[in-house]
A and B are shown apart, each in its own frame.
Chain A
Amino acid sequence: MVSFITNLINGLSLGSIYAIIAIGYTMVYGIAKMLNFAHGDIIMVGGYLAFTIITTLGLPVGLGILVAVVGCLGLGVAIEKIAYKPLRNAGSPLAVLITAIGVSYFLENMALLIFGSDPRIFTSVVPFSTVKIGPFTIPGTTIISIVVSLLLVFFLQMFVNKTKPGQAMLAVAQDRDAASLMGISVNGTISLTFAIGSAMAGIAGVLLCSAYPTLSPYTGAMPGIKAFVAAVFGGIGSIPGAMIGGLLLGVIEILGRTYISSQLSDAIVFSVLIIVLLVKPTGLMGKVTQEKV
């Protein structure tokens, strides 16, 4: 029982990191209507930025986190402006999807050139290694990940529902043309979305590397795909959905790995996704839209 609860907590920890990435995915999807395949690689960039500041240069941890977050934010906005914006009216959603894949290759190969293919060992940014609560020994990163993700979701929900730029995001997500006619800057809103999503990817990068300390150019790819799965799981476009999807995914992955088969953990995660979508074709919290005849 104790080990089960420990596994559950580990699952929530991994899940909360997925959740942070998934929220970025889901926001960009909801507002820019594109699958940003490079999102996972921004996590990797965040990890390397923090690694460079903290380990290579020996500067304070706080500065490392700040640089990772701000760097990812800038990178996300720049990618949107340079690579995605020219294709916003391309006529096929596939065009921008393929470009995103190109950006993903670009970031991975850039990291490969600068840092090489050997994995780097990331030092956790969490100052305390474990906390003992009753019979449970919980790693510090676990607690921090869960707390940070809850805070982020809380503030993001407040931002989207209570502030003007947040409302503009909802408006652009619903109907870009109508929002534009109401005087909302669509370009500005999309940039803002990329900024927030990418900054969150930066945070996710630092947390992910603290929990799983090997850092390589491909570190972000699989978590990126998993987070995408989490976003779909929860109903793509929905922030609470992404949070729940991420947490569930993390828990399923860890429990599946422990109790069913460590080699089949990915297969288990993907099977659950398939089952959920077959029962509820638009995810757990997604809205059903029907084409009007």
Chain B
Amino acid sequence: MALLEVKNLAIQFGGLRAVDDFDLSIEKGELYGLIGPNGAGKTTVFNLLTGEYKPTSGIITLDGVDITGKKPIEINKAGIARTFQNIRLFKQLSVLDNVKIGLHNQYKYSTVASILRLPSYYKTEKEMNEKAMELLKVFGLDKHADVLSSNLPYGEQRKLEIARAMATNPKLLLLDEPAAGMNPNETEELMENISYIRKNFGMTILLIEHDMKLVAGICEKLTVLNFGRILTQGDTKTVLKNPEVIKAYLGDE
């Protein structure tokens, strides 16, 4: 049984079918790429998977549980975490606090404990700090823990978003153009980071990316979207050789 199973997913905005007849199956531990030209509906797929949009039809199951039509909060609790194409950090909070907010549902103490500063407050906060620092270290952000998140350089903001998503302890991680706006060095680092979390956290990852070097470098399987429909899917190598994919990307010569 695959970790994520999507069948016949479709959404209609007014008269436009933004995504139609979308199937996807991701096994546990896989690194899966979702590619396609601009406007193909990739982010819409993410918004459907995370509950931002309600699908017009189709079924989404995660680890055998039907999550179709659930709200973003419930879907995160069910085990999907994501990053955003247009970075959405908690800008007025520190890097550390951003990750600690991701830990919100893993570490709990009562409101009374926080107001009265009971021992459970100190104990849990300490554990949260340690866990958050551990995650920040993975992305080399530990040295900036105190910095306001909006003061981070662009590339590091993207990494912080991944760290925050990881903090929710997901089964499946969705990355929306993680390398967008990064220079080749940063992209290289990011690829290492992604491989690391896969290896050490056993994370299953679905990512949208335009950087073909990254896609070809780390993704095992690909789905290519064009005009809201699947053009082809399968092994990365096979897919990238497909003349239709090349045509969709480069246009008719």
Contact = CB atoms under 8 A, between A and B. Distances in A.
Query: Is this pair of chains taken from one and the same complex?
Result: yes
B156 interface: no
Interface residues of B, number: 4
Contacts of A293: 43, 47, 52, 84
A293 B47 CA distance: 8
Contacts, number: 4
A2 B47 CA distance: 59
Contacts of B43: 293
Contacts of B84: 293
For the side of the interface on A, what is the size category? Answer: under 10
A293 to B, nearest CB: 5
Chain A: interface secondary structure? loop
A184 to B, nearest CB: 27
A293 B85 CA distance: 8
Interface string A281-293: 0000000000001
A224 to B, nearest CB: 33
A176 B47 CA distance: 29
Interface string A220-234: 000000000000000
Interface string A184-216: 000000000000000000000000000000000
A105 B8 CA distance: 62
Interface string B67-108: 000000000000000001000000000000000000000000
Interface in B42-56: 43, 47, 52
Interface in A240-293: 293
Contacts of B52: 293
Interface in B22-51: 43, 47
A293 B45 CA distance: 12
B251 to A, nearest CB: 27
A293 B86 CA distance: 8
Interface in A147-193: none
A69 B43 CA distance: 53
A293 B52 CA distance: 8
Contacts of B47: 293
Nearest to B52: A293
A293 B51 CA distance: 11
Interface of A: 293
4 A-B pairs closest in CB distance: A293-B52, A293-B47, A293-B84, A293-B43
4 contacts: A293-B43, A293-B47, A293-B52, A293-B84
